Structure 1
Amino acid sequence: MDGDERLREEMMDGEFVDVVIIGAGISGIGAAYRIHEKNPHLSYTVLERRARIGGTWDLNRYPGIRSDSDIFTLSYPFEPWTRPENVADGPDIREYLTETARKHGIDSHIRFNTRVLSADWDSATDTWTVQTEQDGESPQSKTYRCRFLFFGTGYYNYDEPYRPDFPGIEQFTGDVVHPQHWPESLDYTGKRLVVIGSGATAVSMIPALTEKAGHVTMLQRSPTYILSTPRINPVVQLLRKVLPKRLGYAAARLYNTFFTVFVYAFARTAPRLSRAYVRGNARRNLPKGYPVDIHFKPRYDPWDQRLCAILDNDFYETIADGRLDVVTDQIDHIDADGIALRSGKRLDADIIITATGIQLQALGGVVLSVDGADVKPQDRFVYKEHMLEDVPNVAWCVGYINASWTLRADLTARAVANLLAYMDSHGYTHAYPHLGDKPMPEKPAWNINAGYVQRAGHVLPKSGTHRPWNVRHNYVLDVIDHRLDRIEESMVFGRALDRTVSSA
């Protein structure tokens, strides 16, 4: 049997496309657009485990869900955001993604309710075999085959958020809810709510919760940096008003990009001034005599952990008008009626909300293998922030920790589109980054002290200390590298062992 006959026979065993994209959220939709834009002749399929487009913005449905970065850099450069908000609510972001997919014909390529279980690379044919399970009353298995695999799965576990083992929580007679799995039927009207945690999820949901709850208490072990930003930015609105539509959108995007870069750079180079600014804003918006230094003075420097954004000081307003109490303490145990604290105080509650964070997960939990040998992402160096050392024809999109997800996601999608075009023009059927025998010092891929990183940083690929193996969170330098990118750098290209180059 020659190579062409072998590939044709294998294609009969499963649906074949040039590119399989896993995930129909921001990363997956953006990748589909960029890959098709650069390579219109390539076929692609998007596999989405959920029933709707959106990814994170479909999964998270808790009250107050919104972005914690501006929407102009979170939206795509090729599809302008038309609403007035500078920070957008979750349902509006999901609607934007749905409309973008519909407008560009991407939605017809999506296979919903399709969970990807595993993917195995065959070096004889240079194809990935992707095993999936379709949700339904009687789950069915289906196989896809492709030349290139793009993971738009994000970096956290959708099924299992982080749930600390709080002593006695099983004794609590009320509801215990994690925001990642918010029950839409939950009625908290007039109830006493205790929100455990003080990260981005907690500070975004609390103002919304206080609109219906009887009272809300935020229980934190230690303070978090909180920075207020306007929901509707007057500078951005002016740019959009005086400039033509697309130019105004580009200007708004550029303004927000530089603002984000400036805030991060200022915080890292002048931490004492940054601390003073954040503390001063809290003092101005909280009641006179409020213990700011107990509840809003973190022990670490700004951006050692991610800053939490609030809108128009709404979080502080809920404290000022008595709808929210902030308690800085630790849990001793939980009983039938609430939470007993180590200080000896207690918090009675009808509902406990555990805004305790996420769990990191590589590649959406998909089991990856090459010629039957398992690939452990944590054992591989990451190349140009999106490919894995010695793993052919695969990319994984992971956004920034200090800026909008889409800024890096779009760079990743365009880099993959360029790589595919290069391979196609040279007749290559595989490409993979190769470090070689030269020793490479290792550093953390994420230089942030967030709990979810400290708990499970070992699941991430390794970062080297110099390009193209250095994972950095610097959009400006990444843009420069993208413009000057040398596709051949540290890459191995070739054709299938049986000389099967075309899928035709």
Structure 2
Amino acid sequence: MRRSPRRVLARSTVPTRVARPVGPTDHVDVLVVGAGISGIGAAWHLLTETRRSFAVVEARHEIGGTWDLFRYPGVRSDSDLYTFGFDFRPWEDDDAIASGEKIRDYLHATVADEGLRPFMQFHSRVVRAEWSTPDARWTVTVEDSRTGEVRVQTAGWIFAGTGYYRYEEGFTPNFTGLDAFTGQVIHPQHWPEDVTAESLAGKKVLVIGSGATAVTLVPALADGGAEVTMLQRTPTYVMPLPARDGFGVAAKKLLGVERGTVVTRYKSALVQRLSWAACRRWPAQAKKAIRAAQRKVAGDDVVLSPHFDPPYDPWDQRLCVAPDGDFFTTLREGRARVVTDEVDAFTRTGVRTKGGEHLEADVVVTATGFTVQPFGAIETLVDGEKFELTDHVAYRGLMLDGLPNFAFSIGYTNASWTLKVGLLCDYFVDLLRHMEVGGFDWVRPDLPADDGPDAVGRRPLLDFGAGYVQRSLDALPSQGDRAPWLMTMNWFADRRLLRRGDVDDSNLTFGRRASGGQV
């Protein structure tokens, strides 16, 4: 079920499936960078809802982004899949919290069934992009990630569906004595193919970290027979939730699969928003509710305090999900334990904590976070001048001031990533149609004057307490203090801003190639 047509050009007048795959050096109207969730979503919208030519370039060998990269045991969603799935292809599986394998299968089926793969060029890393206002086009340098060979491609637009993680390198602190450790050290972002949960049976595995990855790994490794210890510096809120959405199962039976999944998507988005709002409004009560849910699954014998008493309020950082309470069941059954302390140093046989405890380990998993890399680290120039991302402000969470014909996609931090991606893509194709109708070749957001009455204040782009975000704020653009410069984390507010509001406003400058003039 799709949304109703919006203002600029009626859906019935837009031919579908008019685009044709192009060669790796051909000019395209839109160059989509990345074949993960965002890139796949953008490609579908461009193919189905516009007349524009496009290509998708992907630095890796396959689609899926993080869902193809992450292969550690137990990898799964930390969001409800009814909202994490695309709005144009509802999630039909009964599992609302799904395995990485199911998510990869879903993405592959989407790309195959929607005819998107012919538009994708793999092993193609964008390293440089130069914008020319007189020509109204980007000149893009693309590097073959296998050979280093370079080619040049031109495009009218760039859509950066790159997320914000650096795929080549996860984050690992500079642990003292790491070289002395004689066991194996693994970062979950680069999990070895020959290491399975079963292959670690009988071994002592130390998982360092407390986020979603660690909470996922601990029960998966314990199920494989490993003796697991999770060492965390700071506790995290871990919420037991059903792996299956009973409402969704019932809705599909009652309304049919298509309508049932759409209804469940809206229900889940509303529940996510209300839960977040309640946690922010009544943090003390939220803490009590989370503790009660934990105790119900963990039983009376598991010591929850201080290991599950974060020094911050719920949703200052993202809550971790334990589907069907698997993490707490593992603790209750004695197949894993949690230690809350800091690493003092690695030893030959394990890790010594600052509290003086020595944790023996055959394998250490450093689930210590990600390295943030905005927009794929593309070197960007505008009319010969280097464009410094950190000097600029996000417009509608999609573009940056001063940067023409460049869109990006960053999802929600307090809800499913794909909810935001769908809205951004909707607005993007409407903007393209607005430019087509008006005969415009380029558009650029421009901030109001810094010293005027409408001056926009600046805030961090991601107003979020996660360590990987806080470490990287200096490398990110900013957001403003009011719409449309806010990077909102509210799907319902964004629906009004991106889907129902006007495409054009006083913050956008439009131009044409022939005259080079502004409108």
TM-score (normalised: structure 1)? 0.94
Q: Which residue of 1 aligns with 2:511?
A: 494
Contact 1:282/1:296, CA 8 A, preserved across alignment: no
Secondary structure of 1:159 counterpart: coil
1:74 aligns with 2:81: no
Q: Which residue of 1 aligns with 2:181?
A: 172
Contact 1:35/1:416, CA 8 A, preserved across alignment: no
Gaps of 5+ in 1: 1-10
Q: Which residue of 1 aligns with 2:140?
A: 130
Gaps of 5+ in 2: 1-21
1-structure distance, mates of 2:286, 2:95: 26
Q: Which residue of 2 aligns with 1:196?
A: 208
1-structure distance, mates of 2:301, 2:228: 21
How many Å apart are 1:266 and its aligned residue?
0.9
1:430 aligns with 2:442: yes
1:322 aligns with 2:338: no
Of 358, 361, 364, 1:349 maps to 361
How many Å apart are 1:499 and its aligned residue?
6.6
1:230-267 per-residue CA deviation (whole Å, 9 max, x = no partner) reads 11121110011100221111111111111111110110
Q: Which residue of 2 aligns with 1:375?
A: 387
Q: Once structures 1 and 2 are overlaid, which stretch shifts more, 276-285 or 147-156? A: 276-285
Of 470, 473, 485, 1:469 maps to 485
Secondary structure of 1:58 counterpart: helix
How many Å apart are 1:287 and its aligned residue?
4.1
Q: Which residue of 2 aligns with 1:209?
A: 221
Contact 2:77/2:99, CA 8 A, preserved across alignment: yes
Identity of aligned residues (%): 38
How many Å apart are 1:124 and its aligned residue?
1.8
How many Å apart are 1:217 and its aligned residue?
0.2
Secondary structure of 2:334 counterpart: coil
Of 427, 444, 469, 1:453 maps to 469
1:409-433 per-residue CA deviation (whole Å, 9 max, x = no partner) reads 0111111101111111111110010
2-structure distance, mates of 1:12, 1:78: 27
Of 465, 478, 500, 1:484 maps to 500
Contact 2:426/2:499, CA 8 A, preserved across alignment: no
How many Å apart are 1:139 and its aligned residue?
3.1
Of 402, 408, 419, 1:396 maps to 408
Q: Once structures 1 and 2 are overlaid, which stretch shifts more, 30-39 or 353-362? A: 30-39
Q: Once structures 1 and 2 are overlaid, which stretch shifts more, 271-280 or 476-485? A: 476-485
1:32-89 per-residue CA deviation (whole Å, 9 max, x = no partner) reads 11122221x2110000111111001011110111110011111111112222111111
Of 20, 34, 48, 1:37 maps to 48
Contact 1:397/1:409, CA 8 A, preserved across alignment: yes
Of 317, 321, 345, 1:333 maps to 345
Contact 1:445/1:472, CA 8 A, preserved across alignment: no
1:387 aligns with 2:399: yes
Alpha-carbon distance change, 235 to 140 in structure 1, aligned in 2, over 3 angstroms: same
Secondary structure of 1:463 counterpart: strand
Secondary structure of 1:228 counterpart: strand
1:115 aligns with 2:132: no
Q: Which residue of 2 aligns with 1:8?
A: none
Of 139, 148, 151, 1:142 maps to 151
TM-score (normalised: structure 2)? 0.91
Contact 2:68/2:104, CA 8 A, preserved across alignment: yes
Q: Which residue of 2 aligns with 1:3?
A: none
1-structure distance, mates of 2:308, 2:24: 59
How many Å apart are 1:498 and its aligned residue?
5.9
1:407 aligns with 2:419: yes
1:94-140 per-residue CA deviation (whole Å, 9 max, x = no partner) reads 1111111111111110001111111110112111111111133x332
Q: Which residue of 1 aligns with 2:6?
A: none
1-structure distance, mates of 2:308, 2:423: 36
Contact 1:228/1:313, CA 8 A, preserved across alignment: yes
Secondary structure of 2:492 counterpart: helix
2-structure distance, mates of 1:427, 1:478: 27
Alpha-carbon distance change, 139 to 444 in structure 1, aligned in 2, over 3 angstroms: closer
How many Å apart are 1:288 and its aligned residue?
2.2
1:277-303 per-residue CA deviation (whole Å, 9 max, x = no partner) reads 111122222242432121111111100
Alpha-carbon distance change, 241 to 135 in structure 1, aligned in 2, over 3 angstroms: same
Secondary structure of 1:116 counterpart: strand
1-structure distance, mates of 2:355, 2:499: 56
Q: Once structures 1 and 2 are overlaid, which stretch shifts more, 276-285 or 120-129? A: 276-285
How many Å apart are 1:369 and its aligned residue?
1.1
Where does 1:291-302 land on structure 2 (aligned, <5 Å)? 291-302=303-314
Query: Which portions of structure 1, spanning 4 or more consecutive aligned residues, are displaced by more than 3 angstroms?
Result: 11-14, 497-500
Where does 1:252-271 land on structure 2 (aligned, <5 Å)? 252-271=264-283
Contact 2:236/2:309, CA 8 A, preserved across alignment: yes
2-structure distance, mates of 1:178, 1:376: 31
Secondary structure of 2:478 counterpart: coil
How many Å apart are 1:448 and its aligned residue?
1.7
Contact 2:175/2:345, CA 8 A, preserved across alignment: yes
Q: Which amino acid aligns with 1:29?
A: I
Contact 1:38/1:421, CA 8 A, preserved across alignment: no
Q: Which amino acid aligns with 2:479?
A: S
Alpha-carbon distance change, 258 to 12 in structure 1, aligned in 2, over 3 angstroms: closer
Q: Which residue of 1 aligns with 2:459?
A: 443
Q: Which amino acid aligns with 2:402?
A: D
Secondary structure of 1:294 counterpart: coil
Where does 1:224-303 land on structure 2 (aligned, <5 Å)? 224-303=236-315
1:185 aligns with 2:204: no
1-structure distance, mates of 2:294, 2:385: 54
Secondary structure of 1:149 counterpart: strand
Q: Which amino acid aligns with 2:477?
A: P
2-structure distance, mates of 1:465, 1:301: 23
1-structure distance, mates of 2:475, 2:370: 13
Contact 1:191/1:214, CA 8 A, preserved across alignment: yes
Q: Which residue of 2 aligns with 1:102?
A: 112
